[in-house]
Amino acid sequence: MLIHELTTAQCTEVLARTSLGRLACARAGQPYVVPIHFSFDSEGPGLYAFSTVGQKIVWMRENPKVCVEVEEISDKNRWTTVLVFGRYEEIQDSPHDAATRQRVWESFQQRPEWWLPAAAKLPSQERHAMVIFRIHIDRLTGRRAVHERI
């Protein structure tokens, strides 16, 4: 197996065709990782997502430095991973953010079930406020493994 570093362009190609990743945030020295659905915005560049207010939103409000991991796995010898290092920012329901909210809404409509799992209600869960947010991309890294035949 050979492992190659991805260029920034290759990383953005992976993000453009993927909608599921793992969001990592931290608070008081404790990491927390959860799956999220997102839409990639190449113009930002950034990732858009939404969630109900819960642990990850509370933690990201306190510490906006986050990381998102995305992967494509064919088998143990053929895989690609991309890491997004960035900053959390809420998109407010305000006239100032109206154009951004419209753009986010349009990007969400391009993928089926965009509202999962963020809006899925657990049996014991009460309704919480919805938050649309962006992860500003500060840095991208990625690797790809390919099987080498001997």
Alpha-carbon separation of residue 88 from 48, 84, 118, 146 (angstroms): 10, 12, 16, 33
Distance separating alpha carbons of residues 134 and 118, to the nearest angstrom: 15
pTM of the model: 0.82
Specify the pLDDT at position 35. Answer: 95
What is the separation, in whole angstroms, between the first and last Cα of the chain?
A: 10
Distance separating alpha carbons of residues 89 and 85, to the nearest angstrom: 13
Residues 65/87, Cβ–Cβ less than 8 Å: yes
Pairing label, strands 20-27, 65-75: antiparallel
Average pLDDT over residues 79-92: 95
CATH class in words for 2-118+127-146: mainly beta
Domain limits of the chain? 2-118+127-146
Model confidence at 111, in pLDDT bands (50, 70, 90)? low
Tell me the pLDDT tens digit for each residue of 25-82: 999 999 999 999 998 988 878 999 988 899 999 999 999 999 999 999 999 999 999 9
DSSP string, 61-122: HH--EEEEEEEEEEETTEEEEEEEEEEEEEE-SSGGGHHHHHHHHHHHHTSTTTTTTTTPPP
Alpha-carbon separation of residue 112 from 5, 35, 69, 150 (angstroms): 31, 17, 21, 42
